[in-house]
A and B are shown apart, each in its own frame.
Chain A
Amino acid sequence: MRGPRWLGILSRCIAAVLGGYLLAALVAIGCALWLGPPRAEAVLVGMLLSFAVHAGAVIWVFAARSARRAWAGLAVPTLALGAALALTGGLP
């Protein structure tokens, strides 16, 4: 970790809270659009799962060896999901 220690921690906190939420939200949207029908069921599955995803993301962010790795590990699935959603018309 380069830079002062607190900077790395701050960076990880942002990754965990905002990055983790973004990933969870994308998973929720992905479930809502790709699972089902019925539509309501798919939406609910996404909602119910999203918290496990978020918690898992937080664990990953703080388990990674460096803040950079933490961000990278979060960015890969987020971008992949985002791209897949964009291709299937799930994102504006």
Chain B
Amino acid sequence: MKEGFRQCMAWLHTWSGLLVGWILFAIFLTGTAAYLRPEITTWMRPELHATAAGPAAAQAALDHLQQVAPRSPSWFVNLPDARQPALQVLWREAAAGRRGFANAWLDPATGETLTARETRGGEFFYRFHFQLHYLNVPLARWIVSFCAMMMLVAIISGIVTHRRIFADFFTFRPGKGSRSWIDGHALVAVAALPYHLMITYTGLVTLMLMTMPWGAEKAYGGDRAAFTAEVFGTAPPGRAAGRPAPLTAVAPLLEAATRHWQGGSVGRIAVQHPGDANATILLTRDDAERISSNPQTLLFDGTTGALLASAGDTGGAAAATRGVMYGLHIGRFAGPLLRGLLLLSGLAGTVMVATGCLLWAVKIRQQALKRGRIGFGLRLVEHLNVAAIAGLPVAMAGFFWANRVLPPGLAGRAEWEIHLFFIAWAICLLHPLLRRGRQAWIDQFAAGGLMFALLPVVSLVTTERHLGVTLAAGDWAFAGFEFGLLAIGAALGAIAWRLARRRPAAAVAPQRRQPTARLAAGAAE
């Protein structure tokens, strides 16, 4: 009976993992990249130089908005921080509908407008990670939620299946065929098990208002807005009075906020009805300062500067739990060291998913070779493995290349960067039709490695902010990012090199494409 349970769980582990493995791989890798969202965005807008942000930045932003959008119903200011040194202002176009937003980047010191190339930057990976692209957003989020649930099931059934967690805790035996794949898969899974469980469950939690709204529907009689207002303490904005009144100075409000949050700083300013007697100013605390992502906000009267309301300072245990889970998932609170560890754990998760997909193919191929017939299912899985695992890095590199190569004035430039990401990925999906088996892996890893490694060179040719300048100027964030790109290129290249050099152990067998040789890839990662 007990053995039967383990076998059931092994079956469940295999199929729940394989069925969504390729999407999960993409979710994990782009999600890991999203830990560096501000850094990626900074790199993709090389025109925006880091300048020292002073306390005057907020006032400069509001003055700018007063000039360009005096009649707008709402303004937003994203204040610069250590990771994103640019000052961004957004405003709702008075004439346009609900979604008509315009935005600009400002120099935090002078308030002057900066022009930068149009790009989605790291935001693309962040968004893709939970809502894919080209798809209807709710549908895509449901797909991702479904995959996350499968992931949770795969983790639980995997723990049950893996009967020797402690005996095999430190075990990795390279060069032993499918045994090595199992070892590698279990090692990255166990080494970061708390992370995998945390990131999967909290991932489900981030989308729970959409996927599990039934309790709120029932308890609030269908009034969703009342629920969110009660949880997050955010009231819908009031109406404009129709009488003009000048906006109060913002600096004293920022000081009051810092006092209120005991040293915490403001990350975002939202102004409703600027220039009206009923104007309000909402200050939101920088979410990098605490684990919980439940926003802490202060609402001020826009003309008198009087404090009207505060929210997020206290809250129930469940709301706090949700906030911490959400915050843990997006990892904005993490300092450089913890961010590095999150990246490592995210990569471990990515490798876990990849080795899981490969493991299935390795096992089935061994069985197929014994029977002397390779079925369509195995061919399909092997093909998709190449396209997903080796192809996605190529697509990501393609996205970065597009950022550097597309002309700055191109219409729809930001969208074209994304189109090129998918075009590169589509090529990787077709490529294994022409180059079979191991050769497809080698080609794609080599291509990805080359594309990543050449990115700093492309920067050198196409921008004025390349390693020659950044190193000399001590622009470490920017230079470090390019060294990171080089390192990724070197790692992908090393995988390709080992795959090409290391002939399979069973080269004498009639099958030349022995999956054991791919072991090197897993080990090198």
Q: Do A and B form a real pair?
A: yes
- Taking beta carbons and an 8 Å cutoff, which residues of A are in contact with B? 24-25, 28-29, 31-33, 38-48, 50-52, 54-55, 58-59, 62-63, 65, 90
A46 / chain B contacts, CB cutoff of 8 Å: 212, 215
Interface presence of B65 (CB below 8 A): no
What is the CB-to-nearest-CB distance from A21 to chain B, in angstroms, rounded to a whole number? 9
Partner of B153, one of A29, A40, A43, A59: A59
Measured between beta carbons, the chain B residues less than 8 angstroms from A29 are 214-215, 218
Q: Which of B78-113 contact A (CB under 8 A)?
A: none
B212–A28 contact, CB under 8 A?
A: yes
Tell me whether B477 is interfacial, beta carbon within 8 Å.
Answer: no
Whether A47 contacts B9 by the Cβ 8 Å rule is no
- Bound together, the chains give a CA A47 to CA B206 distance in angstroms of 11
Q: Is the interface of A mostly helix, strand, loop or mixed?
A: helix
Query: Is B429 on the interface with A (CB-CB < 8 A)?
Result: no
**Overall SS of chain B's interface:** helix
> Are B214 and A44 closer than 8 Å at their CB atoms?
no
The interface size bin for chain B is 20 to 34
User: For B152, B215, B220, which residue has the most chain A Cβ atoms within 10 angstroms?
Assistant: B215
Query: By CB atoms of chain A within 10 A, which of B205, B218, B322 has the most?
Result: B218
- Alpha-carbon gap, A38 to B325, bound state (A): 20
Question: Which A residues touch B209, using CB under 8 A?
Answer: 47
Min CB gap B18→A, angstroms:
14
Jot down 18 A-B pairs with beta carbons below 8 A, ordered by A: A28-B214, A29-B218, A31-B215, A32-B215, A38-B316, A42-B318, A43-B216, A43-B219, A44-B322, A47-B205, A47-B215, A48-B205, A51-B205, A59-B156, A62-B11, A63-B5, A63-B12, A90-B218
Known: A48-B325, A59-B156. A43 touches B12 (CB 8 A): no
What distance in Å separates the Cβ of B445 from its nearest Cβ neighbour in chain A? 35
- Taking the closest CB of chain B, its distance from the CB of A50, in whole angstroms, is 5
A55 B153 Cβ-Cβ under 8 A: yes
B63 interfacial by beta-carbon distance below 8 Å? no
**Distance in angstroms between the alpha carbons of A48 and B204 in the assembled complex:** 9
Kindly state whether residue B8 has any CB partner on chain A within 8 Å.
Answer: yes
Say whether B227 faces chain A, with CB atoms less than 8 Å apart. yes
Q: B1-40: which residues lie under 8 A (CB-CB) from chain A? A: 4-5, 8-9, 11-12, 16
Ranked 7 nearest A-B pairs via Cβ: A32-B215, A44-B318, A46-B215, A41-B316, A28-B215, A32-B219, A40-B230
- Answer whether residue B143 sits at the interface, using C-beta atoms and an 8 A cutoff: no
Which residues of chain B have C-beta atoms less than 8 A from A59's C-beta?
A: 9, 12, 153, 156-157
The closest CB in chain A to the CB of B150 belongs to A58
Chain B positions near chain A (C-beta within 8 angstroms): 4-5, 8-9, 11-12, 16, 149, 152-153, 156-157, 201, 204-205, 208-209, 212, 214-216, 218-220, 227, 230-231, 316-319, 321-322, 325
| Chain B min CB distance to A30 (Å) | 8
A32 touches B216 (CB 8 A): yes
A32 to B227, CA, bound (A): 12
Q: Quick one: which of B11, B205, B316, B322 has the most chain A CB within 10 A?
A: B316
Residues in A with CB closer than 8 Å to B316 are 38, 40-41, 44
Q: Are B231 and A44 in contact (CB under 8 A)?
A: yes
Identify the closest chain A residue to B203 (Cβ). A51
How far, in angstroms, from A25 to B9 measured CA to CA in the complex? 24
Cα distance, A28 to B212, chains bound together (Å)? 8
A43 to B316, CA, bound (A): 12
Instruction: Choose among A25, A40, A42, A50 the residue with the greatest number of B CB atoms under 10 Å from its CB.
Output: A40
Query: What is the distance, in angstroms, from B200's C-beta to the closest C-beta of chain A?
Result: 9
- In the assembled complex, the CB of A47 is this many whole angstroms from the nearest CB of chain B, namely 5
A44 to B219, CA, bound (A): 11
Q: Which residues of the other chain, B, contact A24 by a CB distance below 8 angstroms?
A: 212
The CA of A25 and the CA of B213, in the complex, are separated in Å by 8
